[in-house]
Structure 1
C-alpha cells in the first residue's frame, strides 16, 4: 500500500488486505476506545451465545437433525468462529495498529477469516440448493447423511485452499518500533497480484454465491407461490406443509439479504482502497474502518435472532436453553416441539382422518376409511 496507509491493510478479517502500514499507532481518546470496545464486546457475546445455542438445539435434539439443519450448524459454527477470533483480535489490532499476538497467530489470522467467511456463505448456498431440489424437484433423490457430511467437508477444504495464498505470504515485520502482521506479496508483481487476489476472493465469497442464491430462491418462490392446494384440503396438512415451506424460504432469504447488506460496504471499502490509496491518509478513516468492520462482523449475530423470531421450533429451543433465566418460562409445548414424532405419512394420515371425522359428524370411527393420506406428498417438509 501507499506510504500513508493507515487502515488499508490493518484488517485481516476476510483476507482482503495485507496489513502493511507506515503508522505505528493511532491516537484515540479513551472514551472513544471504550465505546468501540463496548460495541465489539456486545457483538461477540451475542454472536457466540446465539450461534452456540443454535448448534445445541440442532445437535441435542434428534428431531432437528435434518440435512438442511446440518448446513445451518455449519453456518453457525463458522459465524461463531468469526466472532470469536476475527472480530476480537482484529479489533485490538485496528485500535492500536500494533500486532501483539505473535508469528503463529499472524499466519492463523490470515488463513482463518477467509476460510470461515467462505464456509458461511457456501453453507447458505448449500441450503438454497437443498431447498431448490426439495421444492422444485421433489421426486429427485435427496442428500443422505454421509453425502451431507462430504459436502460440508468439501466446503471447508475449498475454503482453506482459497485462503492459503494469504497465509503463505504472511510474515512479521517491525516498523518504527511497532510489530506488524504483514502479507508480503512478491515485489515484482505485488500491486497486480494483490488486486487480482482481492477481486477473485470477493467474487468467490460474495458475488458468485449471492447470484446463485438469488436465482435459486427466485425459482423456489415462483414455484411455491404458484402452487395451489385443492379446495377440500384448504384446512389440511398439505396447506400447513406449503405454509411451512414458504416461511422457511422467507427465513433463509432474510438471512442471505442480511449477510449481503452487512458485507457490501466492507468489500467496497477495500476495492476503493486498491484504486485510491490516498483514502487511507485521512485521520477519520480509522472510525470509518471500525464502523464498516463492525457492520461486517455483525452478520454473525443476526442469524440466531432471525431463527428465533421466525421459527417456532428454534424459539422453543431458545426457551429451553435459557430456562435458567427468570424471565424465560418454557412450556410443555416447547419440549414437544423438539421431541421426535411419527413420520410425515403418519401425521398426514392422522390429520386427514380427523378432518373426515369433523366433516362426517355422526359417522362412527369404525366407518372412517383407513390408509388415505389425502393426496400425494410434495417432497419433505421445511426442515428448519
Structure 2
C-alpha cells in the first residue's frame, strides 16, 4: 500500500478541519458508550397531553381512593362489629392492611411516575418504593394462603381447630407472613441482589426508577412469593371446597331425619358460602396478578416487553387491592351488615316490641329482651319502617 504524504500536506487547513471533525465523532462515540443507563421501560411514545394526563390520573386516583376507603372500612368493621371478632378475620385484617399499603406506598407514587414518565422522589425512595411493591404483593398472597389453611382446618375438623388455632398460633402465622415478605423484598433490593453483577452498586439516573431484575432474582422471587404459594393455595382450596360440600351433604342427611325437616344446616351452609367467597377472592387475585408475574419473568430474560403492556399489567395487579372489600360486601352477609352500620348508622335502629299496644319500659325489659333475642332491627326509609333481614342488634348478639 502506497501512502502519498505530499498530497495530504498541500492544504494544512483542510487537514486541521478534518482532524477536528474526527475528534468530535470519536468523543461522541465514547460518550454514547458511557452515558447514563437507559430505562428499559422507556420509549413508550410521546408524552401524555394535558387532557390525557388528567383522564388517566383521575381513573388511577379513583382506584387508589376505592382501595384506601374499602380496606379501611374492612379494618373498622372487624374492630367495631362484635360478630366479626373471630380469629379468621384477623387474617382478613392482615390482608386488608397489605392492600392498604399497596394503595398508599405504591399506587400513589406510581401514578406520578407513569404520567410524567420520570421519577421525582430520589434514588433512596426508589428502592423503598420497589421493595414496598414486592413486599405488599407477597404479603397479600401469603395472607390468602393463611386464610385458606385456617378455613380448611375449621371445616375439616372443628374440634382440632379450637385447639390448634389459638391466639398465639394466629400471631405466629401473621408474623411469619410479614417477616417472610419483608425478607424477600427489602433485603435483596437494598443489597442490590436484583441487579446484574456488572451494574450492582452503580447509581441509577436521578429521574429513573424501574424494577430492572436479573433472571436469577426474578425466578427465585417470583417462585417463592407467587408461584409456589399459589400452587399450595389452590391445593388447599380444592380440598377445602370438597370438605365443605361433604359437610353440607352430611348435615342435609341428618336434618332429613329430624322432626319438621330439621333446621341444623346453618353451619354447613356458612362453611360452603365461606369456601365460595374465598374461592372468588383467590380467583380474582390470580386473574389480576398472574399476567404480571408471567410477563415479569419474560422481561427478566429478553427485555422485550413493551412499556405500555408492562404498565397495564402492573396496574391490573394494583387494582386487586380495591376488589377484595367489594367482594366481601357482595358475598359476605356479615361484612355487608357491618358496612351498612358504619356507613348508614341511622338506617337500622333497635326498637322495643309493643305488648298490648304499649311500649315497655327500657329499664325493666332491656335485659330480658336481649336474653330472649326479642330485639328486632328496623330500617327507616322515607319515614316508613320495614324489618331488616338481620335478626338482632349488635348489642344483643353474643361473641
> TM range, normalised to the smaller chain?
0.7 to 0.9
* Whole-angstrom distance in 1 between the partners of 2:116 and 2:243: 52
- Rounded to whole Å, the distance in 2 between the matches of 1:67 and 1:151 is 12
Post-superposition shift, 1:37? Answer: 0.9
Q: Normalising to structure 2: TM-score of the pair?
A: 0.71
Q: Which residue of 2 aligns with 1:179?
A: 207
Q: Which residues of structure 1 form unaligned runs of 5+? A: 8-20, 185-190, 344-384
Give runs of aligned pairs for residues 191-230 of structure 1, distance below 5 A: 194-227=214-247, 228-229=250-251, 230=254
Q: Output aligned runs, 1:119-130, within 5 Å.
A: 119-130=139-150
- Which residues of structure 2 form unaligned runs of 5+? 1-35, 195-200, 350-376, 378-387
Q: Which range moves more in the overlay, 249-258 or 110-119?
A: 110-119
Counterpart Cα distance in 2 of 1:36 and 1:24: 15
Q: Which residue of 2 aligns with 1:341?
A: 397
- Displacement after TM superposition at 1:182 (Å): 6.1
The match for 1:295 among 316, 324, 327 is: 316
Q: How far apart are residue 250 of structure 1 and its match?
A: 0.4
Who wins on radius of gyration, i.e. which is larger?
2
CA contact under 8 A between 1:24 and 1:97: conserved in structure 2? Answer: no
**8 Å CA contact retained: 1:63, 1:340:** no
SS in structure 1 at match of 2:120: coil
| Aligned residue in 1 for 2:272 | 246
The reply to whether residue 318 of structure 1 matches residue 339 of structure 2 is yes
**Structure-1 residue corresponding to 2:257:** 232
User: Which has the higher relative contact order, 1 or 2, with Cα contacts under 8 A spaced 6 or more apart?
Assistant: 1
- TM-score, scaled to structure 1: 0.73
Structure 2 counterpart of 1:114: 134
Measure, in 2, the Cα distance between the counterparts of 1:172 and 1:50: 40
CA 1:196–1:323: 2 relative to 1, 3 Å: same
Alignment coverage as a number of residue pairs: 310
Q: Which residue of 2 aligns with 1:329?
A: 347
Partner of residue 353, structure 2 = none
CA-based RMSD: 2.8
Question: Equivalent residue for 1:353?
Answer: none
After superposition, give the CA deviation of every residue in 1:299-319 in whole Å (9 maximum; x if it has no partner): 001111111111111111111
Cα shift readout 1:90-137 (whole Å, capped 9, x = no counterpart): 222233332211344223213222111111111111111111111112
The match for 1:269 is 295
1:40 corresponds to which of 45, 60, 65: 60
Instruction: Report whether the alignment pairs 1:131 with 2:151.
Output: yes
- In structure 1, how many angstroms separate the alpha carbons of the residues matched to 2:315 and 2:44? 22
Q: Is the 8 A contact 1:5 1:278 kept in 2?
A: no
Deviation string 1:283-325 (CA, Å, 9 cap, x unpaired) is xx33x2332122111100111111111111111111112117x
Change (3 A) 1:80 1:274: same
* Bigger mean CA deviation after superposition, 333-342 or 132-141: 333-342
> 1:27–1:116: structure 2 CA closer, same or farther, 3 Å change rule?
same
Residues 98, 180 of structure 1: 8 Å contact kept: yes
Q: Distance in 1 between matches of 2:292 and 2:168?
A: 36
